[in-house]
Amino acid sequence: MIAAYGVANLLQSMAAARTTVHHTFDPQLLVRLAGHRTYLLGVGCQVLGFVLAFLARRDLPLFLVQASVAAGLGVTALLGVLILKWSLPVAEIALLTLLLAGITALVLSAQPAHSRQLPTSAVVGLGVAVAVIAVLGFLSVRLHGALGSVVLGSLAGIAFSAAAIAARPLANEHSAAEVGANPLLYLLVVHSIVGQLLLGMAMQRGSTTAAVAAMDAAGAVPAAIVGLLLLGDRIHPGREWLAGLGFAVTLAAVIALTRYAEPQHHHASRTHGECAPLPTTAH
């Protein structure tokens, strides 16, 4: 799952950099991105990662699975340096290391447990959350640079977190018919589409590491809280302090990335409807 998400982040970032920057909350961005083979390959890797994460959520607490997704950022950064010749500043490398340290603390504090079903009020809350995230995304699309990457990436993370919350009890259904009849399936799909759109816009702002770090950290927190309160997720006895420390370190690293993360892509064209020239790496 970590490897699949790491490759997916890189490929989607490459495609987003070659697509005209969108300054509105426009679903057509996904259509434009789908015109790039690189993006479609990235989506394929993301689907693979999603399936693996879905299976992991059958027995593992959400804060462990969601935090593990963030480890894919290290894979993305490594591939970016090796393949695309990204130049990561020392501060960003240090913050990525700090982010992974926070995630490691979360991993060590997790205890496997079976999921409980969500109460009806929580299912309704997931439906309301879609509208709230979309409105916040609409208001945030004018932000640029690392700040835009982090804000939009964070909103994408919250959307993906809601999808993960829906997926945890859904993964424990016993048949395809039960899955199809469960409203959580459709909430999962809608939240995933909104998150995908927000992530595409976040990556267009220039800093992939900032966008993905913000997405992963913002996605881990709500899922962890809901999982612990409503789904029966557990922390190893005596390691509550480690889980708290892990969250604090992870969030601190993401907040710092709004200051130190630098653009890794530059759009050659700003004209609406015109795509930037594809470099040779596209092939």
Mean pLDDT of all residues belonging to the chain: 80
- The C-alpha atoms of residue 101 and residue 156 are separated, in whole angstroms, by 22
Least Cα distance to 109 among 240, 224, 249 occurs for 240
pLDDT at 26 over 60: no
- For residue 175, how many other CB atoms are within 10 A of its CB? 8
pLDDT of residue 131: 93
- The C-alpha atoms of residue 114 and residue 169 are separated, in whole angstroms, by 9
Distances (CA, A) of 3 to 15, 46, 94, 169, 183: 19, 10, 21, 25, 30
pLDDT at 52 over 90: yes
Query: How large is the average pLDDT for residues 235-254?
Result: 85
What are phi and psi for residue 92, nearest 5 degrees? -70, -40
Instruction: Look up residue 71 and give its DSSP letter.
Output: T
Quick one: tokens of 54? 């879905």
pLDDT of residue 23: 54
Contact assessment for residue 128 and residue 109, using Cβ atoms and an 8 Å cutoff: no
Query: How large is the average pLDDT for residues 97-106?
Result: 84
pLDDT at 106 over 60: yes
pLDDT at 132 over 90: yes
Which residues, 6 or more positions from 131, have their beta carbon under 8 angstroms from its beta carbon? none
pLDDT at 21 over 60: no
Query: How large is the average pLDDT for residues 226-246?
Result: 90
pLDDT of residue 189: 93
Query: How large is the average pLDDT for residues 261-274?
Result: 46
Confidence of residue 25 (pLDDT cuts 50, 70, 90): low
Task: Please state whether the predicted TM-score (pTM) of the whole model is above 0.85.
Answer: no
Least confident of 4-18, 126-140, 202-216, 261-275: 261-275
Give the three-state DSSP class for 216: helix
Distances (CA, A) of 67 to 120, 124, 127, 222, 251: 26, 25, 24, 11, 12
Quick one: tokens of 120? 């009806």
pLDDT-above-90 percentage for the chain: 24
- For residue 273, how many other CB atoms are within 10 A of its CB? 8
